[in-house]
Structures are given as structure tokens and as C-alpha cells.
Structure 1
Amino acid sequence: MATVAVPQLSVSDLDVEGNLDTVAARAAGLPDCVDVALFPEYALTGFVADERIEAVALDRDGPELDRIRAVADADDLAVLAGYVERGTSDGSLYNALAYVDPSGDTTVYRKRHLWADESDMLTAGDEQVTVETPAGSTGLLTCYDLNFVDDSAALAAERVDALFVAGAWPAAHSENWRLLLRARALDGVRWVIGAGRTGARDVAEARSTEYAGRSAVVRPDGHVTAALNRDERDLIAELDPEVLADQREFIPVLDDHSE
């Protein structure tokens, strides 16, 4: 029985140290039973679509990710957090999501589907990524990736048990976020945990955005079993493997698809 937590939070755009302090404090405040803590898209760096983002981009082997590894070790839980990543080969920038387990092993997913002005500054990733987590085999997705049914189908073909989704969804379209989390749970008969950014981006000379929050845990039948609105507090839920097994027996779409 895996226990997941989403410490829903706002993000300080372009303030890496402040965001690292927040993530560390929120992770340390979770109950001992938590196996995985999920933080939102760009949790460590924030994002603005201009050259300022280059100054806060992180290396996956740099000291900032080392601090996340230290958090995972100290609190004996896995941590999922988004950030802008600087590529090692040519310096390209990516919208990245790091899954760090308590031993420090790190798996990085680069968002494959960039939204709006992200494409002005960032390069899209080119690989789907799965990782073994306390929830079982888990696919990693970021925000707009939810809209792409082909990606969902590919992860269903791999029979992943869960999707971990980091988001920074605009508040004006929050119903789309909730609907897509539910749809991706049902069409792959799997758990979906969505970690949504709350608060607002308020950076000089950057477009202001209010964020939806609305982090949620969705059962494999598409039912929202636990959810938040826009407040900054912790969402904690248990993922019962018997629920997954029962729903896959009741809705055998994965078996029928392979026939």
C-alpha cells in the first residue's frame, strides 16, 4: 500500500533558493507514512519566457538536485519536482521533471509537448519515461502532455500502474485539468496523481498568470478520491493495490487491447 502526498504550493519564479527551501520544508513536514511527495511543474525554478530563465536553469547533477537528493534521503521518501534543465551537450533548455528516490537514484523526464511561449525558450523532450515507484510502474507526465491521447495509449500498452503528473495549469481552465486527470486514469485503468501549482506568477515584464491548484488523486475508474482547491496544504492518499486489481478485472481494456 503506497502513500502519496502532494504538498500543494505556489512557486517563486526565478528564485531557486527560495523554492528549494519551500520544497525541503514541506517534505520535512509530511507524516512518516508518506512514500512519495509530488511537487508541481517548475517547482524549483519557476518559468518566464525570456532570457532570465537561462540564469536559473539547473544541471541534473548540480548542487540544487543534490539538495533534493538530500531531502529524499533525510525524509526517507521519493520526491518528484519540476524545473528548467540545462542540457549537457549543447546548453539547450528543457522543462524537466526529476523523480528522486530515497537512495538518490534520479530519473528525469523532459516534457514532450510544450505549451504556448515555452517553445520560445525551451526544447521539447523526445522520450517517454517510466520509473519504478512505490505505486508500481509509473509514467511521468507534465501538464499539457495530458492532452495527448497517443501518449496515454503508449503508457497503457506498457501497463503502467500509475501516472505522476506535475502541472502549472491556468486557473481559468481548471476544469480541463481535472477532466484530463480523470480521463487518463480511466483510459489506462491506473492511478493518476496530479500535483498542481497554485498561487500566481507575478514577475516584472512577464505575463501574469493565476494557477489552478486543484491537485488530485484519481482512482483507476476515473473517480476523484482526494483533491484540493487552491489552498497551500498537503493532499495525502493511500493507493490500495486491490483497488487497481479489481478495476483491471472489471474494465479489462488492457487485456482486450492486446488480443
Structure 2
Amino acid sequence: MPTVAVPQLSVEDLAVETNLRAVVERVDALADEVDVALFPEYALTGFVADNRLTTVALGRHGPELDRLRTVAADADCALVVGFVERDGEQLYNTTAYVPRDGDSEPTFYRKRHRWGGERDVVRAGDERVVVETPVGKTGLLTCYDLNFVAESAAFARDRVDALFVVGAWPAAHSENWRLLLRARALDGVRWVVGAGRTGRRDLPDAPSTQYAGRSAVVRPDGMVAAALNRDERDLVATLDPDVLAEQRAFIPVFDEPSTGDE
């Protein structure tokens, strides 16, 4: 049975080396049985909606991603980590799925639905991404993507076993984050693992934001299996495939020929 972990993290905005070190330390501290560890949106770079973002944007084949590949292989644990990606002159809000074998290339997802100031500095992605993980066939989502039912419907058509969601949800709206994680689990009868940023953004000349944390693992019936509040500690849960099979037998949404139509 696969075990997932969310080492809930406070991100230091515009401080790549500090954030990378924090990710590595948290992975090193996980128990050996963890198969996948999820970190929040923009975990490596942080975020600010101005041109300072260009100073921390990372390439897919840079030393930071190479370091994560080594860490994943050493820990025998796949990693899900968000960052600002530079591709030519364009910036993207990107999440990397880093396999644990050390040899396979990471898979990248670019956030399709931008929130607030993101629209001024990053380009929207145009592809949905499904990747094979220790949990099974898994869709990748980022934060505000949760609000769009079409994304959930598309993953239902793909019959994914899980969604991995990285987020940086404002604390003032934390109930929406938890509600949407539960809804996306139930409407596709699948596991949902949400990694939320905690702590505060407090940069000069940028709005101060308190983040929700509230990372959670949600069962395929929409019930919360395990969750955190705002502390920087680890959420660890085992995802029993029998639970998924039982819930899909009980809630047979895939028996309907029109399942997932947009």
C-alpha cells in the first residue's frame, strides 16, 4: 500500500537556496516507507506579482531540479514540488513530479488557471497532465485549478486513481480549500492529496499574505482521512487500494456512459 507525505512548509519568497535546503531537509527526515512527498505551490521560489519574479525563475534542466532528482533517488521517494519556471522569455507556475528512480525525467505541469496577480507575470499552461505514481494513475493540479469543474471532469474521463494538488491558499479562505479538496475527491471517486503552503509572505512593496496550510488527504468518498492545521510538520497517510475499489463499487459513476462530459 503506497504511503504519501506532505511536509507542510513555510516558503521564503525569492530565496531559492533557502527553500531548496528546506525541501531537502524535510525529505531527509521522512520515514523510509514514504513513497511520495508533496510540497506546496511555488515551494522552491516563492511568488510576488512583479518583475522580481524573473530573478528566481528556474529552468527545467537547472541544478535545482537535478538536486531534487538526486534527493528523490537517495530517499527512494518521488517528489512533487512547485516553482516559477522560465522558458525563454515566458514564466510559468510549474509543478514537477520527480520520480524516485533517479533515471527517469521529471514530469512537469503548468498551472492552467491563474489567480489574481499571477495573470500579470506568468503565462497559463495549456495541457492537463497525468502521471503514473506509486498511488496509481494521478492527475496534477495547482491551487485555483480546484475551482474549475471541467478539470475534474477531464480527470474523471481518464479514470485517475488520485489527484495531487499543490497550493498556496490564503488563510482567510481556508474553508474553500478544504471543501474543494473534498469535492474533487468525491466527484471523481479518487484519492486527493493537497499540499498547502503555511506561514506568511512579508516582502517589501508586496501585499502581506497569511497562508492557510491545512494540508489534507481525502478519501474517495470525500471524507478527510488525515489533515494538518498551520504547523510546519509532516502529514503521512497510507492509501489503501481496497478503499478505492470499495468506494468505486459503492459509487459507480464510471458505469455511466456520459461520465466526465464537459
TM-score (normalised: structure 2): 0.97
1:92 pairs with 90, 93, 111, which one? Answer: 90
CA distance in 1 between counterparts of 2:67 and 2:89 reads 22
Are 1:141 and 2:129 an aligned pair?
no
Which amino acid is the alignment partner of residue 236 of structure 1?
Answer: V
Q: In 1, distance between residues paired with 2:21 and 2:184?
A: 32
Query: Secondary structure of the equivalent of 2:97?
Result: strand
Letter in 2 for 1:135: V
User: Distance in 2 between the 1:8 and 1:91 partners?
Assistant: 32
Counterpart residue type for residue 163 of structure 1: L
Q: 1:102 Cα shift?
A: 1.3
Aligned-residue RMSD, C-alpha: 0.8
Measured against aligned partners, the alpha-carbon deviations of 1:146-175 in whole angstroms (never above 9, x if no partner) come to: 000011001001000000000000000000
CA distance in 1, matches of 2:246, 2:258: 19
- 2-side partners of 1:157 and 1:256: how far apart? 11
Runs of 4+ with deviation above 4 angstroms: none
* CA distance in 2: counterparts of 1:37 and 1:125, whole angstroms: 23
- Counterpart for residue 219 of structure 2: 219
Task: State the distance in 2 between where 1:257 and 1:167 align.
Answer: 32
Secondary structure in structure 1 of the residue aligned to 2:45: coil
Q: Take 1:255 and 1:7, find their aligned partners in 2: how far apart are those partners?
A: 37
What residue in structure 2 maps to residue 167 of structure 1? 167
In structure 1, the partner of 2:180 is: 180
Q: Which residue of 2 aligns with 1:102?
A: 100
Work out the CA distance in 1 between the residues paired with 2:244 and 2:230: 28
Count of residue pairs brought into register by the alignment: 257
For 1:81, give the aligned amino acid.
V
**Alignment partners' CA distance in 2, 1:128 and 1:102:** 22
In 1, Cα distance between equivalents of 2:134 and 2:115: 30
Amino acid at match of 2:126: D
Task: State the SS of the aligned residue for 1:70.
Answer: helix
Q: How many Å separate the matches in 2 of 1:255 and 1:168? A: 35
2:256 corresponds in structure 1 to 256
For structure 1, which runs of at least 5 residues remain unmatched after alignment? none
Shift of 1:29: 0.2
Using the aligned pairs only, state the percent identity: 70
Amino acid of the residue matched to residue 77 of structure 1? C
TM-score, scaled relative to structure 1: 0.98
Q: Which amino acid aligns with 2:167?
A: G
Counterpart secondary structure, 1:32: coil
Residues in 2 aligned to 1:40 and 1:111: alpha-carbon distance in whole angstroms: 13
Code of the residue aligned with 2:209 in structure 1: it is T
Which residue is equivalent to 1:20? 20
| Helix, strand or coil at the partner of 1:46 | coil
In 1, Cα distance between equivalents of 2:80 and 2:237: 16
Deviation of 1:118 after TM superposition, in Å, equals 0.3
